Structure 1
């Protein structure tokens, strides 16, 4: 059985700065296929895309790099961290991306004029990770991403 490798890198004609009107549009255009999850990935191949939605207290965004909080341990209703994160398939995929050096498409939720949209931030790579106490005291995975050159 021949499994296809997920698309790493730009998909179609999308380029940094392009805007998408919804998660549904991202999914239909295969830019970021999950309609809810922040990471599109397989543990074996790595992360192909992520969405920065400014919902994780342990995300840290800078101009030249950012720290992306891993998956898990959050309350589904409040979004607050209530438990330690574990090595979920999504966290494994981000670790795999660090190992392979493959590019990760990054989309960021923005609200120009009050309406949520998603801006394509381009290709980034996972260069480091840490696992330790987050702002709420629970252990979280944090992945450092830098522009893919």
Structure 2
């Protein structure tokens, strides 16, 4: 069953050691996919893990590249993206207006040199574009803005 918004007691700034811990917490259930959701309900959560060259993160705004067309070894876009179920889930979130949990792979603060997944908070997908990305292939890009506290 889809769950939109915060999950249990987890809040922005909480970290998770790996994708298994993320899945077990319910904050982002898929162990590999960057999008959790369905084309009928929308996206529940996304992970920014430096996998797509067209992703951009700032505290004020996120540009999230859709799913597909990426070479797993190089990370470069090698084909056009298509309307996969994951991309359709992101598109559905524009019409539903439901919040999306955002997680981001970041260096751990304990000095171990390991990466962790940090919960950045709730965002709303406000628009999308489908056009040439950095490598020239057609890419879905989704613009997300933070949901105001108390919303």
- Tell me the TM-score normalized by structure 1: 0.94
Report whether the alignment pairs 1:73 with 2:72.
Answer: no
Aligned partner of 1:9 in structure 2 is: 5
The Cα of 1:109 is off from its aligned counterpart by: 0.4
Structure 1 segments unaligned to the other structure (5+ residues): none
Report whether the alignment pairs 1:141 with 2:137.
Answer: no
Structure 2 segments unaligned to the other structure (5+ residues): none
Aligned partner of 2:94 in structure 1 is: 98
Matches within 5 A, 1:1-149: 4=1, 6-112=2-108, 113=111, 114-149=113-148
Contact 2:37 2:45 in 1 (8 A): yes
Partner of 2:13: helix, strand, or coil?
A: coil
The Cα of 1:54 is off from its aligned counterpart by: 1.6
- Tell me the TM-score normalized by structure 2: 0.93
Extract structure 1 runs of 4+ deviating beyond 4 A.
none
Partner of 1:93: helix, strand, or coil?
A: helix
RMSD between superposed Cα atoms in Å: 0.9
Alignment: residue pair count: 145
Contact 2:52 2:70 in 1 (8 A): no
